[in-house]
Structures are given as structure tokens and as C-alpha cells.
């Protein structure tokens, strides 16, 4: 048994270590509560993305055809309700905003969001979408507590409403820090509805970051069952080979 203890302990330590690194990267943000297996949530998130985000941000690794297949949508539904750029069904999701114009308006071209959740985590993206507030000192009139001095205007303001920041008393030689955000002007959605909307949008971006996860998770159970069965066979074969040695 001793020969098996070390590999198992090493595998567990690597797994726990990777989870600890991921948790530290999230920075203690509230959990997003996303679920890429909730197809209705992904559909709602796709609707939000294509209505509010695709004007500036591309998903260059995603094709409309793949989105339709994974989200249970027909070609007609996708082309009529999600495709606003005139792309063909088999083409990738590319924003039509010219990079030169974007750089002039925002200081730099808006990033592609295909791998945004893989890079920063679902908790970060969800918290970012909930943390915009009015800031007249910024060029676009908005700021963000999760990503301070972000150059992006808030595309979902009409849904959430207008948030303003209440500042902490500034210490000598330091800038004032945001203490909390207050919803000064309600939007079309209640706070609970808006949190669900950002959760749906984050779920869609999480799916876009790794579309194969839907199939991978489905096959995972069968792979584990096969490995368990193969381990049993290997153990029985080992017992048969070594039964005359002892």
C-alpha cells in the first residue's frame, strides 16, 4: 500500500494547490453562481451579450452555428435574434466596430471576450458587471470598483440604473476610496433581476470560454466509470499473476 500512498497524496496536494491559487486570483469576490449546464440561462445570457456587448466586443473563437447547436436554438432564431452584424451562420462572432474608431473613443480597442472568464474567472466578471458607478472625472463618465479607471462605458446602465459612490474620508496624502455604491436612479430591472441578468451573461461568457466543457462534463462520468472498472480488472489480473509467488 505504501507505494500508492505517495502518488495519491501528491495528486491531492496538486489539486488543492490549484484550487487555492484560483481562489486567491478571484480575490475574495462574491461567487457568481453561474451554471453552464442551465441552457435557459445561457440563452438569456446570449441575448444580453448580442444586444449590449457585441457592438464593441467580439467572440472570435465562437461561431453562430456552434452557439445554435450548444444552446438548443435553430438557425432562424440565431440569425434573426442574435446576428446583428450581417455575418453568415458559419462565421465567427466579430464586432463591426473599426479598431481605429474604438481607439479614438476609448483610448484602445475593446478586447475580444472569448477567453475573458478563463483569464479572470466568473466571479471577477460578474462582480465587474455589478460595480460600475457614475464618475464625472473619467473620460467616459463611468468608473468601476473592481477595475478602477476602466475606460469602458457601462452598457447595462438602463437595466441596472445609475449607481453613485459614497467615499470614505481621505487619509492625508492618499486619494479617497469608495466605501459603497448606492443605486441613485433605478433602472428597468430590480436589483435582484439585474443580478440574475449579469449571472446569465457571465454564464454565457463562461460557456464561450470553453464550449467543450458541455460535452466534457457529460463524458466525465463515463470516463470515471471506465477507469474504476479497468482498475478492478487490473487488480484482479495482478492477483492472478502473483498468486503463486507468496
**According to the annotation, is 246 in a ligand binding site?**
no
Q: How far apart are CA 219 and CA 209, in angstroms?
A: 19
Euclidean distance between the first and the last CA atom of the chain, given in angstroms as a whole number: 16
Q: List the beta bridge partners of residue 133.
A: 143
The answer to whether 106 and 151 are in contact (CB under 8 A) is yes
CB 17: neighbour CB atoms within 10 A?
A: 10
What residue has cell string 463618465? 141
> What is d(CA 13, CA 88) in angstroms, rounded to the nearest whole number?
47
Residue 96, marked binder? no
Q: Give the separation between CA 96 and CA 189, rounded to whole angstroms.
A: 29
Q: Is 37 among the annotated ligand-binding positions?
A: no
Give the Cα separation of 164 and 185 in Å (integer): 9
Instruction: Write down the H helix ranges in the chain.
Output: 2-26, 39-52, 64-71, 75-81, 99-106, 116-120, 122-129, 157-160, 191-209, 213-242
What residues have CB less than 8 Å from 229, skipping those under 6 apart? none
> Residues comprising the binding site for heme c?
53, 56-57
User: Annotated binding site, which residues?
Assistant: 53, 56-57
Amino acid at each position: 500500500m505504501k507505494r500508492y500512498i505517495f502518488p495519491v497524496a501528491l495528486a491531492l496536494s496538486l489539486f488543492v494547490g490549484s484550487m487555492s491559487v484560483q481562489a486567491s486570483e478571484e480575490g475574495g469576490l462574491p461567487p457568481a453562481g453561474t451554471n453552464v449546464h442551465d441552457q435557459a440561462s445561457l440563452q438569456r445570457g446570449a441575448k444580453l451579450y448580442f444586444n449590449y456587448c457585441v457592438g464593441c466586443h467580439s467572440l472570435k473563437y465562437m461561431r453562430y452555428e456552434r452557439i445554435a447547436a450548444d444552446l438548443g436554438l435553430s438557425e432562424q432564431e440565431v440569425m434573426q435574434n442574435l446576428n446583428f452584424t450581417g455575418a453568415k451562420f458559419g462565421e465567427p462572432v466579430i464586432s463591426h466596430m473599426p479598431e481605429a474608431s474604438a481607439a479614438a473613443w476609448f483610448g484602445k480597442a475593446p478586447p475580444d471576450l472569448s477567453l475573458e472568464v478563463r483569464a479572470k474567472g466568473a466571479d471577477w466578471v460578474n462582480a465587474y458587471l455589478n460595480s460600475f458607478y457614475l464618475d464625472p472625472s473619467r473620460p467616459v463618465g463611468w468608473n468601476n470598483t473592481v477595475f478602477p479607471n476602466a475606460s469602458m462605458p457601462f452598457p447595462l446602465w438602463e437595466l441596472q440604473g445609475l449607481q453613485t459612490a459614497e467615499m470614505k474620508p481621505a487619509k492625508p496624502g492618499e486619494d479617497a476610496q469608495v466605501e459603497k455604491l448606492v443605486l441613485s436612479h433605478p433602472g428597468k430591472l430590480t436589483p435582484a433581476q439585474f443580478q440574475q441578468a449579469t449571472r446569465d451573461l457571465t454564464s454565457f461568457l463562461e460557456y464561450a470560454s470553453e464550449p467543450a466543457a458541455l460535452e466534457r462534463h457529460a463524458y466525465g462520468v463515463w470516463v470515471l466509470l471506465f477507469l474504476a472498472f479497468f482498475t478492478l480488472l487490473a487488480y484482479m489480473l495482478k492477483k492472478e499473476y502473483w498468486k503463486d509467488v507468496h
